[in-house]
Amino acid sequence: MDQTVKDKVLTQYASTVAQLEIGPINYTNNDILTNDKHIPTLYGGDIKLRDKHKRLVNYMGSTMVRFVISRTIISDYYAKNLCILSSLEQRTCFTRNAISQVIKTSVAEGWVFKKVNPMNNKETLILPTSIRIKLWEVYALARFFAHDKSDIQKSHNLLKALHL
């Protein structure tokens, strides 16, 4: 197959993915947080849950450290990886002080909690709270709806056909 066709398909796929990514991480005037039509579907009618989501999103969007650490903690939870201060420091390359500040604020806000690792008493696990898990599920559902409305499946199938 002609390389220009492959390049075109890849560019189309990359463009679609980029557009889908920018929606959920566009923290200023984010549709899922500001449009009341999403409250019944995404938040089960719970306006307080949406307000908590706004607070988390605004916090995460304020600095790259907050965004990366917050996303890493939830990712580790779902990947069943141990999330401790030293592992966050190694994987993110942020300073221990910066990571500690994010964790301290996250604990105070009720997004994460710390627990002594039962397998190693010298380690403190950093785990998301049930509200943080719920907010991640809302985010995932919003991503699902965004993907469903886009042409990502068509782009994906074209790219898959070219590379199999």
Q: What is the mean pLDDT of the chain?
A: 85
In this predicted structure, what is the pLDDT of residue 158? 77
> How many helices (DSSP H) and strands (DSSP E) are in the chain?
9, 2
Contact indicator for 114, 84 with CB cutoff of 8 Å? no
Query: What is the average per-residue pLDDT within 82-89?
Result: 94
pTM of the model: 0.80
In this predicted structure, what is the pLDDT of residue 41? 81
In this predicted structure, what is the pLDDT of residue 164? 56
Q: Domain 3-163's class?
A: mainly alpha
Q: Tokens at residue 160, please?
A: 């898959």
Contact indicator for 154, 146 with CB cutoff of 8 Å? no
Which of 35-49, 126-140, 146-160 is the least confident region? 146-160
Please give the backbone phi and psi of residue 127, each rounded to the nearest 5 degrees, phi first: -125, 145
Query: What is the average per-residue pLDDT within 52-62?
Result: 89
- In the predicted model, is pLDDT for residue 36 greater than 60? yes
Alpha carbon 142 to chain centroid, angstroms:
11
